[in-house]
Amino acid sequence: MTTMRVRIQTADFDLSAEIAALRAQDRRVGAVCSFLGTVRDRNDGQDVSTLELEHYPGMTEKSIEAMIDEAHRRFDIFAARVVHRVGLLQPLDQIVLVAVSSSHRGESFRACEFLMDYLKTQAPFWKKEQTPEGARWVDARVSDDEALARWGIQASNQG
């Protein structure tokens, strides 16, 4: 059974349905680790009323697919799934899901953290935050040399 590993979408997603699809009656699965990111109301010390996320269709999915392939090479996992929302989002909205299945929890935890670190530091997303001072576009990628070094990932040019 082929499942879509990466989805970039404007619509919200159902966490339990995504986890069920990841497991998909796979009797080998003994562990599922997931990370759910939500929009918060503050960033860099400023109030944020809305967040607008943009990406390059095709390029973003290809980039995340390549990192899922790398997670499969590095960790003993069965499946991985990334759902990332784009468009206009409000505080409390779900924004990203990373879920990984494996036989044992350790591999799932490590692969999930690896994929989330990649998304936060390397995936090509851009965001516009609405603050009391007005709108500001910021690169959604966060410079995190420690996370990159932990996984041996080369930083992409963020400038």
Count the residues in the chain. Answer: 159
- The C-alpha angle with vertex 12 and arms to 93 and 15, in degrees rounded to 5, equals 90
146 versus 52: the higher-pLDDT residue is 52
- Which 8-state DSSP code applies to residue 1? -
The backbone torsions φ and ψ at residue 62, rounded to the nearest 5 degrees and listed phi first, read: -60, -40
Q: Kindly report, residue by residue over 101-144, the tens digit of the pLDDT.
A: 999 999 999 999 999 999 988 888 888 888 888 888 876 666 66
Question: Domain segments of the chain: what residues?
Answer: 6-148
Rounded Cα distance between 115 and 99, Å, is 9
Helix axes 105-121, 59-74, angle to 10 degrees: 150
Q: Does domain 6-148 have CATH number 3.40.109.10?
A: no
